[in-house]
């Protein structure tokens, strides 16, 4: 018995079809084997694919959106991956590559709202209890200092080192103004009087 799960947002519709994996003890309402999925984006061609395409879509779009929200947009998806996404002239270029030979890659330009709807649908798929599929997502790591460096103004980045150098110079100046202690055991020379 084929099962269908639908996930919809304003400009995106994602339909996952599959079967329960009875050998794993799943009930008849759980999708454990994905037989295919279709994705419709408003104003674009409807896309269809298999489980590996859905996996590649999740692996590229979710981290891309995370980096975009952090203000560090960059491309995701290897050259041989079925899905890649990258920033492109204020929009987001989603490239879907077919596994069929001699089939050109399909490029879809998404605006921010369409990308947001796509991410929401993918999050619903990822978190749906009716899908007992272990999707492999890249491990989330904090962004590196190098990636976040451009977000802080130059003055703020230089404030701590400049304050440290100023404190060091000030303390060195104060130490140089302090009187030097006399060496121990030396008595002050008293003026001798001659009669």
Q: 190 in a domain, yes or no? A: no
Q: How many domains is the chain partitioned into structurally?
A: 1
Does the model's pTM come out above 0.85? no
83 near 77, Cβ under 8 Å? yes
Q: 22 in a domain, yes or no? A: yes
Q: 66 in a domain, yes or no? A: yes
Q: For residue 157, what pLDDT is reported?
A: 67
Domain CATH code at residue 87: 2.30.31.10
Q: What is the mean pLDDT of each run of 10 residues along the chain (195 residues)?
A: 89 92 81 90 85 91 88 84 90 86 86 94 91 79 66 71 88 84 68 58
Q: 141 in a domain, yes or no? A: no
Q: 123 in a domain, yes or no? A: yes
Place of tokens 């037989």: 35
110 near 91, Cβ under 8 Å? yes
Q: For residue 91, what pLDDT is reported?
A: 92
Domain around 126 = 3-134
Alpha helices in 43-153 (DSSP H): 51-69, 112-127, 145-148
Q: For residue 123, what pLDDT is reported?
A: 92
1 near 26, Cβ under 8 Å? no
Q: 39 in a domain, yes or no? A: yes
């Amino acid at each position: 018995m084929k099962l269908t799960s639908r996930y919809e947002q304003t400009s995106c519709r994602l339909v996952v079809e599959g079967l329960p994996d009875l050998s794993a003890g799943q009930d008849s309402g759980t999708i454990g084997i994905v037989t295919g999925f279709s994705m419709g984006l408003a104003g674009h061609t409807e896309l269809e694919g298999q489980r590996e395409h859905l996996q590649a879509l999740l692996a590229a779009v979710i981290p891309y959106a995370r980096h975009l929200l952090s203000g560090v947009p960059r491309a995701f998806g290897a050259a041989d991956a079925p899905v890649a996404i990258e920033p492109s002239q204020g929009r987001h270029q989603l490239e879907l590559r077919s596994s069929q030979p001699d089939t050109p890659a399909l490029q879809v330009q998404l605006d921010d709202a369409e990308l947001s709807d796509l991410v929401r649908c993918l999050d619903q798929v990822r978190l749906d209890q009716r899908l007992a599929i272990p999707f492999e997502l890249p491990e989330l790591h904090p962004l590196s200092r190098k990636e976040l460096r451009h977000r802080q103004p130059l003055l703020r980045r230089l404030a701590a080192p400049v304050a440290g150098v100023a404190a060091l110079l000030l303390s060195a100046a104060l130490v140089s103004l302090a009187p030097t202690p006399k060496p121990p055991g030396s008595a002050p020379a008293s003026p001798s009087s001659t009669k």
